[in-house]
Structure 1
Amino acid sequence: MTTRPANPPLKLTSELIAEIDQYLLVRTQVRRADLCLVFGSHRSAEARVQVALKLWRDGLVRRILISGGERTALGVPEARDMCAALVAGGVPERCIMLETRATNTGENVEFSIARLKELGLFECVGSVIAVGSVSASRRYLMTLERFWPEVIKMIAPANKYPVDVGGWPTHPEFAQEVLDEWGKIQPYLEAGYLRELNRETCPLIE
């Protein structure tokens, strides 16, 4: 894996684009799971809500946990805002759990585990579909691997941009987001925030 230097900015060569596509923008099988874990956001909330709604409507999940404690412009935790959108889309409120303290991805997972234990549901979860921004697909899975290694981990990525994921190099904001994520992986691994994926518990599509 190529490490992104802080300066100067990376030049997007065809080789680097291919490496990023293969390593960072991973895909997994998506099959029926015990839990949908939605990583909270107020910048790409709508896209994430739509992905979670589709998983629900397709019958792939029956429990949704939204984790996010950062405040929206209205002053409410992002998890509550996203919950309201899911309920408006047809998901029964009784099927949604909220975790409203987390302010980063590690906390999203740690505090979600704690919330499930509080509710007596942790032992019922053997498989998780994570929902979050497509650019951070691998980081979500690697964070789950770090804090919840035994669970089967899948990703249903959300894309808020008006281009398909394969077109990320053509969209300046999308490209910058992807490169920012690319630059996080190695330092976060070294800091112990992430763990490399176990193919036995993370069904990657090559």
Structure 2
Amino acid sequence: MIDDDLRTLGRYLARRDIDELGRKVDLLVLMGSAVLESVEVTASAFHQKVTERILISGGIGHSTRYLIEAIELRGLGQVDTAGRPESHIFRDLLIGRGVSPAAIEVEDRSTNCGENAEFSRQLVQTATSLLLIQDPTMQRRTHASFERAFPGTELISFAPVIPDGWSGRRFVSLVLGEIRRLHDTPEGYGPRGANHIGHVDVPPHVLLAYRNVAAEHPELVRPPGG
């Protein structure tokens, strides 16, 4: 039962506005994370001519050490990771997959979804459509952050992978934290809480799944204000 609830949470958070990549956009914004599938999907989008411009957003944050671990597990030891922002590492990985360096711009200060959007806004002068690619557990919140930073711009989310069968303490902690942030309550990030993002209507079946998983893992539920 808990596996089904985790699957429900993962699928909800991994927002995909389109079934597959194909339609051309002005700019693809790739967020740094520990999910290397993000790089693979971005490289594929570039080679399919979905976009000619890529902005990579990500500094050194809580996911950086997990990114380094993922690179080591993939046997990509030739990639320099020591003390480098996630965006710089992703840039090297994209170039290694045949993406033109001239097509890539880097924002290397952000450490969270809100800063991804805010600092990207400072660099993007002209774009009527953005394709957003993020760690699937943070895709929905990232979209909400970009909605606030890019009013009037068409935003298309495409989570690089849909979590199916994902488990483990870190994944459970991430999805519980994301639902808590998205839910517009005094403890969340919406207008009734920290006001970092606009109002998000979390569906009842997702909230039920959240409650079930939280009851199973109370040690991973952060207290209000925590």
Give the TM-score normalised by the residue count of structure 1. Answer: 0.73
Q: Work out the CA distance in 1 between the residues paired with 2:169 and 2:98.
A: 35
Task: Give the match for residue 28 of structure 2.
Answer: 36
Distance 1:94 1:18, change over 3 A: closer
Task: Give the match for residue 155 of structure 2.
Answer: 153
Task: Give the match for residue 52 of structure 1.
Answer: 42
Pairwise CA RMSD = 2.6
Which of the residues 130, 133, 150 maps onto 2:135? Answer: 133
Task: Give the match for residue 85 of structure 2.
Answer: 77
Q: Is the 8 A contact 2:28 2:130 kept in 1?
A: yes
Greater percentage in strand:
1
Q: Say whether 1:188 aligns with 2:189.
A: yes
Give the TM-score normalised by the residue count of structure 2. Answer: 0.67
Q: Which amino acid aligns with 2:194?
A: A
Q: Which runs of 5+ in 1 are unaligned?
A: 1-10, 117-121, 198-206
Task: Give the match for residue 24 of structure 1.
Answer: 13
Task: Give the match for residue 165 of structure 2.
Answer: 167
Q: Work out the CA distance in 2 between the residues paired with 1:75 and 1:81.
A: 10
Q: Which runs of 5+ in 2 are unaligned?
A: 65-80, 201-226
Q: Work out the CA distance in 1 between the residues paired with 2:111 and 2:3.
A: 34
* Cα deviations by residue, 1:84-137 (Å, 9 ceiling, x for unpaired): 111111111010001111111111111111122xxxxx12x0111111111122
Q: Work out the CA distance in 1 between the residues paired with 2:153 and 2:199.
A: 14
Residue aligned with 2:83, SS = coil
Aligned residues: 174
State the identity as a percent.
28
